[in-house]
Amino acid sequence: MSLFADLTSGVNAVRPGRTSMPNFDMGVIIATIALVMFGLLMVYSASIALADGPRYESYGRFYFVARHALFALIGVLSVAFVLSIPMKVWNKMAVPLFILSMVLLLIVLVPGVGREVNGARRWLPLGPLNFQPSELMKVAIILYAADYTVRKQEHLHTFLRGFVPMATALAAVGMVLLLEPDLGAFMVIVAIAVGILFIGGINGKLFSSLLAVLVSSFLLLIWASPWRRERLFVYLDPWNPENTYGSAYQLSHSLIAFGRGEWLGVGLGNSIEKLHYLPEAHTDFIVAVIGEELGFVGVACLICVFAFLVWRGFDIGRQAIAMERIFNGLVAQGVALWFGVQTFINIGVCVGLLPTKGLTLPLVSYGGSGIVMNLIAVALLLRVDYENRNMMRGKRT
């Protein structure tokens, strides 16, 4: 039976003499669909008023939600493709995909090739669409770090053969991303790679050293960059008049949005902050609009769905590792790390727990490359789960 036949047969697939077991984790599928559909609704709500301003007056009220829906459709088609490829093939593709992602990150920096928006050069123009290689790198680093951990298992306790190669790879990625600049993406990529190494069993002293070097590097980067340093200090005091009308403008209006929402929100579509007060309301700060329109209860429900998705990712990975599919398990847990870390940073920024950082909310925020790569990551998670279930049935994949 083909993979797609398995998918369509879904929960009804039963072998004689065995208990019924779905071919895929229906909880992950339902949670993903719910987040994507909720994201379409909130992108529409958060962006509908942008056409009233001079910057987007030629775009129309449905411009952003239509593009978001198009990319979500591309993501769904990508899910079908990714699900059809066995994890052993993804294992072989890990290094080539990492190299391809590095090349694309370098091409972005070529003058006249990469597209610049608000002083950042992060996109490759593909006709009417734009592609962000840093999103592809998040998928690539999951596969690469998982493959590296499996290949270097016996050397993970040594400095030269276990620590240095991965540290060098991360340093190379970091140098390119900081030239764009995209510190937020680099932080997520580092968290994914370091998390997978930790789960894979890297030596405790080496892990501590790597963590210390990375934290020191981040702090040095922030201190050496005046605008990053300013973001750090204004986040600590966003209500200072100088900060509120300056670098803390986004944060202060995000907090106002949450304050207006209170427990149950002002009602879907009734946000005031999205009316040209809160910048990037449909991308980085979409949680603020959710908080204003749906209140604390809406945001809490959103967090619960993400918590469920992250928990299932770790659990599916644990099952794969228990069945000695180490690469599969690390990939699944890498996806969980990605969603968990990026969701924490995005929501933490919106509620003032963290300094402002340009990161979207996975599966929800507006963003072409982001939604496609998020769905590809979910597809990898489902593929790992599919192979786990086949092994439980005694089938080899």
Give the closest residue to 327 by CA, choosing from 165, 150, 202, 94: 150
Q: What's residue 97's pLDDT?
A: 97
The two three-digit tokens of residue 134, written as one number:
């840093």
CB atoms within 10 A of CB 357: 19
- Three-state secondary structure string covering the chain: CCHHHHHHHHHHCCCCCCCCCCCCCHHHHHHHHHHHHHHHHHHHHHHHHHHHCCCCCCCCCCHHHHHHHHHHHHHHHHHHHHHCCCHHHHHHHHHHHHHHHHHHHHHHCCCCCCEEECCEEEEEEECCEEECHHHHHHHHHHHHHHHHHHHCHHHCCCHHHHHHHHHHHHHHHHHHHHHCCCHHHHHHHHHHHHHHHHHHCCCHHHHHHHHHHHHHHHHHHHHHCHHHHHHHHHHHCCCCHHHHCCCCHHHHHHHHHHHHHCCCCCCCCCCCCCCCCCCCCCCCCHHHHHHHHHHHHHHHHHHHHHHHHHHHHHHHHHHHHHCCCHHHHHHHHHHHHHHHHHHHHHHHHHCCCCCCCCCCCCCCCCCHHHHHHHHHHHHHHHHHHHHHHHHHCCCCC
pTM for this prediction = 0.91
Give the closest residue to 144 by CA, choosing from 90, 209, 81: 90
Question: Cα separations (Å) of 156 from 168, 204, 207, 322?
Answer: 15, 10, 10, 20
The two three-digit tokens of residue 143, written as one number:
């596969």
**367 touches 314 (CB < 8 A):** no
Q: What's residue 1's pLDDT?
A: 43
Q: What's residue 17's pLDDT?
A: 44
Q: What's residue 19's pLDDT?
A: 52
List the beta bridge partners of residue 116.
121
Q: How far apart are CA 138 and CA 187, in angstroms?
A: 11
**Residues 245, 247, 251, CA angle at the centre, nearest 5°?**
85
Q: What's residue 181's pLDDT?
A: 83
Query: What is the distance of C-alpha 290 from the center of its chain?
Result: 19
**333 touches 388 (CB < 8 A):** no
Domain boundaries of the chain, sorted by first residue: 25-134+234-389
Q: How far apart are CA 109 and CA 178, in angstroms?
A: 11
Q: How far apart are CA 318 and CA 330, in angstroms?
A: 8
Q: How far apart are CA 236 and CA 231, in angstroms?
A: 9
Q: What's residue 106's pLDDT?
A: 94
Q: What's residue 236's pLDDT?
A: 78
Give the mean pLDDT of the chain. 88
**245 touches 276 (CB < 8 A):** no
Q: What's residue 14's pLDDT?
A: 43
Q: Rounded to 5 degrees, what are φ and ψ at 121?
A: -110, 95
Regions of the chain with pLDDT less than 50: 1, 4, 7-8, 10-18
